[in-house]
Amino acid sequence: MTLAPPQDDAAHVLVVDDDRRLRDLLSNYLMKNGHRVTVAANAAEARGFLDGLAFDIIVLDVMMPGESGLDLAADLRQRSQVPILMLTARGEPEDRVRGLEVGVDDYLAKPFDPRELLLRIGSVLRRTRAEPVGKPEASVVRFGPFTFSLERGELRVGDELVRITEREREMLRLLCAAAGASVTREALSGSGGAAQERTVDVLINRLRRKIERDPANPVYLQTARGAGYRLVADG
């Protein structure tokens, strides 16, 4: 039940979690903050909604009975680019790494403050909703056929928007800002923790698959031996 009439452009959020109390809490909170919300208790129920409704973002729990959130996310990525924010158990870095490998946009560890979830949803939606191509910006880095806007966080090939996740965007912004110079894995991880640095390698490999003709022999996103990675930009 909605608490207030949503705006015409209100984002439609699908919350998938087997914890009924959490589903109710998130549904009420997100609706109070202007979103349309549909809830599902498991992957099978989520699939039923996805077959008939369009969603702007999916908030998906990793651990559910039957098909896991990771399995559902991996399957969805084969046929859809809908943004996915994964809910993981605190202290389970493997879930985060696997989520990044299958293509989720962001993750949040339980327990969490609903306000942080709201902010994460807003951030992902702002970055994944395509903006029209406007006049060229000064803060644009070019490499081969690609351009990356430091201001908008948009990766394009020609006029076509290339879909990247929020984590990929954060990393690409750091690499473009230091174009030509190496950026350490510690800086790219944001924390320096070993588990976090493992996600850097996962994300670099994903970015290479999107921008390199031969990801095994990268031209633009190169490994700086013993230092980290660097982006080779034009000029």
- For the chain, what are the domain ranges? 12-128, 140-231
Tens place of pLDDT per residue across the chain (235 aa): 334 455 657 899 999 999 999 999 999 999 999 999 999 999 999 999 998 888 999 999 999 989 999 999 999 988 888 999 999 876 667 777 888 888 888 888 888 999 999 999 998 887 766 544 444 445 889 999 999 988 888 899 988 889 888 888 888 988 988 878 888 888 887 654 444 667 888 889 999 999 999 999 999 999 988 788 999 998 6
Token pair, residue 220, equals 């633009």
- 140-231 folds as Arc Repressor Mutant, subunit A (1.10.10)
CATH number for 12-128: choose from 3.40.50.2300, 2.60.40.790, 3.65.10.10, 1.10.287.3510: 3.40.50.2300
Long-range contacts of 31-34 (CB under 8 A, 24+ apart): 31/2, 31/3, 31/4, 31/6, 32/3, 32/4, 33/118, 34/4, 34/6, 34/7, 34/10
| pTM value > 0.85 | no
